A and B are shown apart, each in its own frame.
Chain A
Amino acid sequence: MLYYLIRRFTSLLLTLALSTIVIFMVMEIVPGDPALIILGIGATDETLAALREQMGLNLPLMTRYLQWVSGVLVGDLGTSYTYSVPVSELIAERSIVSIPLAIIALTLSTIIAIPTGILAASKRGQIADTGIMGLTQLGIAIPNFWFAMLMVYVFAVMLRWVPAGGFPGWDQGIFNALKSLVLPAVALALPQAAILSRVTRSALLEALGEDYIRTARAKGLTRSMVLWRHALRDALIPVLTIMGLQFAFLLAGTIIIENVFYLPGLGRLIFQAITQRDLIVVESSVVLLVASVILINFMVDIAYALVDPRLQSERS
């Protein structure tokens, strides 16, 4: 087990190091001069040159990379060109919206998906299965921004249970803050739940077709005991994989929903930074996102090993 963890952790560090290089290089290659963007087209050459000098844009590539990386390592992400505030502050401000939102959405999606997936698999070919699979088709097909708008109309405009958008901040009371996150979380969770439910069902069905299920049945176990005790644990591996991917997506890939609900999340921060050539914000937030995705994968890897003892033994 220890060996497996060390190996996974080493590959985590390597991936992280490599990704910083790739992100830095890509930002160098994309056209657009940050200094020019800050000062506008009317700026004189002298002021431009002075600003470049001040921002350190004239230093050699390697030096700038090392400066940036060493800053990131100690938590100094630099200062935003456009907002003139430390990037770490910006990201922290947005994370307190995005991270709870992602966690709520993932929890919701898991709570919906796993039971429905199990139900569909255990009633394979029956009405429950056909019904659930039909609904998941719908869940995948319907664009979530459209569904979000529909929910805003019903729950915010007609019933007035929740606000239609915006985020009051956590200092306005946890309940109020959560209220404004409910609709976005549901909108985000539904398509994810639909996918996860289908994955759960097919993984379970595959596991139920294995030889060892027949052995377990020959022991005398009932169908449902076999499903809960033998098939489910085996089916968890693909389910965990998808959950890991979904959480990573929910952290930053939620820009459309953030826009529908006027939420100050990470997605919108990155989007604005890109349009304004605020390179330092883009770089730093992308690195943080990459790091969190890699970290999530690492946790999924640990979960694999807990589920499947074959991964723990050093030989495999």
Chain B
Amino acid sequence: MLSIQNLSLDIGNTSILKDIDLKIEQGQVMGLVGESGSGKSMTALAIMQLLPHSSTTTGQINFDDINILDSDENQMCNLRGDDIGMVFQEPMTALNPVKTIGEQIAEGIRFHTGASGKDARERAIEILQQVGLDPMQYGLDRYPHELSGGQRQRVVIAIACAMQPKLLIADEPTTALDVTIQAQILELLQKLVEENNMGLLLISHDLGVIADTADEITIIRSGEIIECGPTMEILRNQSHSYTRQLAKASTHVPVRKTRPVTASTSKKRQTEPLLQVTDLICEYPTKRKSLFTKPKPFRAVDGVTFDIYPGQTLALVGESGCGKSTLAKTLLQVHRPHSGEIVFENKNLLNSNRKEMFAARRHMQIVFQDPYGSFNPRHKVGNIVSEPMHLVNRKATQDELIKALLQVGLSADDLEKYPHEFSGGQRQRLAIARALITKPRLIIADEPVSALDVSIRAQILDLLNELRDNFQISYLFITHDLSVVRAFCDDVMVMNSGKIIETGSVTKLFDNPKDEYTRQLLAAAPDLQRTLGTKPI
């Protein structure tokens, strides 16, 4: 149905795609896998002819018997949204905030069929039902901001599938969603493929997702196709070195030289905990609903109690909005908690003065998720890395700065550079160097590898592992990615709506989850090895 031959794409003078070949049949799911910048999305946009200006394409894209590259804008408008639909990554911004979802779904129907407003609305209701949104509850008059991320993604899918397209292109449709929602959306896409006998081009960086969903797989790197064929065959044989590298990186487990430190072993050895959190409650004020009653505050963290021992890596997992980040910020004293106790190195942080707090903070540092947003772009690396030194009331010496950079695998020459001169992975190394400069004993890592490609992710995990081996650093590792938890952490806490619902060592809890919510979370998480082990070829 769709056949791409020798597709090459240049934007300006940069070559983005080279000789891409790709075929999709009706009812088939084609997974397109690659790391960021590999040209996955550009392939999709080339099919839709929604490429940025100043791009030139050569080769052939044939859809049924239409030659897409030769079609003019009018022909493309008739094709887009009718025979080819597209779903995008970010459901929060993919819908127009000032129009109702009904208007947005009906719009395409009216454009392509010339249907009356009433007919289009009726059709929109049917489609909403098909994508699993009950029209009684999520009526056409709802605005996007009244829906959650997963629900919005369903609306985006409804828009794309309104005309029952022959081909649906889904560009990282679940990357921005929680694992349980991800599982639901993938299930929905598969259902639509079956019901409408539709072809699906599923673009993802996640081999686990592709292994679960796709019949065929195409692996792409720097604009060139590395390998393609039946998913299970390709992923089991791993005959190409890059495929092997990708698969290995996504299931990478850092080699630990020291023994794991779990809460139970530490208790046995009667080690003093490094951090003790008792009954911590954090609240946010909410909007006043009535003039006469006081608004009830929202409890983001609700009675959380846990300990971290020296050298222990404790994972904190949970879906977005469960209170993970609020907990982290409260530990760092960015927020004041409503009540509870935080004892760090035997000092109660909540009733300590500024000076004591500085001393505590020196031993407690943070690494954030977004390696692009967490540096001042106009500061040099030397400045950035030495920033936390105000906690010890002196400037970092040149030697200390160089040592910190060397520890994270950067070089002394990098001191004079600016953040934009580094790649995403290098920036995350910078963030770690900044955390290391005060010789911390606890690093709070808030989704430190979530924004990174799998191969870079493996390197950063190795680095964090090395630091843990060499300096006996403890980590509070906040993540939604369970495969990282399994690979890297000693203990794990599962958080849901502000409460810790289950705690235990990673192996025990993952193999034998007690709580229903934990079970759901584990079942929903894509797991490459599990899939490869169970799915028939």
A-to-B contact residues, CB < 8 Å = 210-212, 214-223, 225, 229-230, 233-234, 307-310, 313-316
Contact = CB atoms under 8 A, between A and B. Distances in A.
Given A233-B98, A309-B98, A309-B143, A218 B80 contact: yes
Contacts of B93: 210-212
Contacts of A222: 73-74, 77
B85 interface: yes
B535 interface: no
Nearest to B108: A219
Nearest to A316: B145
Given A220-B80, A309-B143, 11 more contacts: A215-B94, A218-B81, A220-B78, A220-B111, A221-B107, A307-B98, A308-B97, A308-B98, A309-B145, A313-B143, A314-B287
Nearest to A124: B53
B264 interface: no
Nearest to B289: A314
Contact of B96 (A218, A223, A230, A315): A230
Interface in B35-82: 48, 50, 73-74, 77-82
Given A217-B80, A219-B159, A314-B287, A212 B111 contact: no
B95 interface: yes
Given A211-B88, A215-B156, A215-B159, A220 B112 contact: yes
A99 B379 CA distance: 52
21 contacts: A211-B88, A215-B95, A215-B104, A215-B156, A218-B50, A218-B81, A218-B86, A219-B107, A219-B108, A219-B162, A220-B78, A220-B108, A221-B107, A221-B111, A229-B107, A234-B97, A309-B100, A310-B97, A310-B98, A313-B146, A316-B145
Contacts of A314: 287, 289
Contacts of B82: 220
A230 to B, nearest CB: 5
A211 B143 contact: no
A240 B159 CA distance: 31
A220 B81 CA distance: 5
Interface string B152-166: 000010011010000
A230 B82 CA distance: 19
Contacts of A212: 93-97
Given A314-B287, A314-B289, A216 B97 contact: no
Nearest to B84: A218
A223 B85 CA distance: 17
B508 to A, nearest CB: 41
A310 B99 contact: no
A215 B88 contact: yes
Interface in B99-120: 99-100, 104, 107-108, 111-112
Tell which of A215, A221, A316 has the most Cβ of chain B within 10 Å. Answer: A215
Contacts of B81: 218-221
A219 B107 CA distance: 8
Contacts of B77: 220-222
B370 interface: no
Tell which of A220, A225, A234 has the most Cβ of chain B within 10 Å. Answer: A220
Contacts of A230: 96, 99
5 closest Cβ pairs, A-B complex: A220-B81, A219-B108, A219-B81, A211-B93, A218-B86
A214 B88 contact: yes
Nearest to B89: A211
Nearest to B53: A125
B90 interface: yes
A211 B287 CA distance: 29
A313 B145 contact: yes
A223 B49 CA distance: 13
B148 to A, nearest CB: 13
A210 B97 CA distance: 11
Contact of B287 (A218, A229, A315): A315
Interface string B121-147: 000000000000000000000010110
Interface in B331-365: none
Nearest to B143: A309
B86 to A, nearest CB: 4
A216 B104 CA distance: 8
Contacts of A310: 97-98, 143, 145
B145 A218 contact: no
Contacts of A315: 287
Nearest to B107: A219
B79 A220 contact: yes
Nearest to A220: B81
Nearest to A212: B96
A306 to B, nearest CB: 10
A75 to B, nearest CB: 31
A7 to B, nearest CB: 10
Contacts of A216: 96, 104, 107
Nearest to A221: B111
A234 B80 CA distance: 23
Contacts of A233: 98-99
Nearest to B83: A220
Interface in B153-185: 156, 159-160, 162
Contacts of B145: 309-310, 313, 316
A309 B100 CA distance: 9
A218 B167 CA distance: 12
